[in-house]
């Protein structure tokens, strides 16, 4: 397996893989609504190849968390995807390790995702601090997971929105 940084040239193949794994309705899910208008952090996003074929991908996106009179920038992790032919081979775990190490190295410590707590707990994700955060769509609160080691407490009650770039706002 070879893991490389995400590049715009990967977009089409990754979109096809995401449609295969999550279906075309994936664009209407809450995580997709959070990403809408945000610019993917290619420096923190990665793809995995096995024998030259796309085997998986992970992406991180900037979000705004606003609550208790404060504004925080956090990252949304997702989607994380592995090709069906390459599942259960550690690709998702390797992509998680790579992306989280890159985020930690740049000082990006608060990372949010929507996913299965038993899988993501090994990287320090939990729903303990997100119970009262509002999102632009429905979410199972047990799946709204945050990893924020060594950070002061984030607001208990807050709203999440994509960190839209000025160029995207003008469009």
Does residue 54 fall inside a structural domain? yes
How many residues would you count in the chain? 171
In this prediction, residue 94 carries a pLDDT of 98
Does residue 16 fall inside a structural domain? yes
% of the chain at pLDDT higher than 90:
57
Which structural domain range is residue 119 located in? 2-162
CA distance 26 to 43: 24
Q: How confident is the model at residue 169 (pLDDT cuts 50, 70, 90)?
A: very low
pLDDT digits (tens, 9 = 90+) for 117-134: 999 999 999 999 898 898
Does residue 167 fall inside a structural domain? no
Nearest to 123 by CA among 37, 58, 171: 58
Q: For residue 119, what is the domain's CATH number?
A: 3.40.630.30
Chain centre to alpha carbon of residue 86: 20
pLDDT digits (tens, 9 = 90+) for 4-58: 999 999 999 998 888 888 887 787 788 888 888 899 999 999 999 999 999 999 9
CA distance 76 to 34: 8
> 38 near 61, Cβ under 8 Å?
yes
Does residue 49 fall inside a structural domain? yes
* Res. 167: pLDDT tops 50: no
Tell me the average pLDDT of the chain. 89
Q: How confident is the model at residue 115 (pLDDT cuts 50, 70, 90)?
A: very high
CA distance 2 to 34: 29
pLDDT digits (tens, 9 = 90+) for 150-164: 777 788 888 888 787
Does residue 103 fall inside a structural domain? yes
- HEC per residue, 73-108: EEEEEEEEEECHHHCCCCHHHHHHHHHHHHHHHCCC
In this prediction, residue 165 carries a pLDDT of 56
């Amino acid at each position: 397996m070879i893991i490389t940084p995400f590049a715009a040239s990967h977009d089409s193949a990754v979109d096809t893989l995401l449609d295969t794994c999550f279906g075309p309705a994936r664009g209407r899910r809450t995580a997709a609504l959070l990403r809408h208008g945000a610019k993917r952090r290619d420096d923190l996003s990665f793809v995995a190849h096995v024998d030259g074929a796309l085997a998986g991908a992970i992406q991180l996106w900037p979000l705004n968390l606003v609550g208790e009179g404060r504004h925080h920038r956090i990252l949304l992790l997702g989607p994380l995807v592995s090709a069906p032919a390459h599942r259960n081979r550690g690709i998702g775990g390797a992509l998680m390790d790579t992306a989280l190490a890159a985020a930690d190295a740049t000082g990006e410590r608060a990372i949010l995702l929507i996913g299965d707590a038993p899988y993501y707990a090994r990287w320090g994700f939990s729903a303990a601090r997100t119970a009262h955060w509002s999102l632009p769509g429905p979410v199972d609160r047990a799946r709204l997971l945050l990893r924020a080691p060594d950070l002061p407490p984030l607001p208990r009650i807050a709203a999440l929105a994509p960190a839209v770039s000025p160029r995207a706002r003008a469009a």
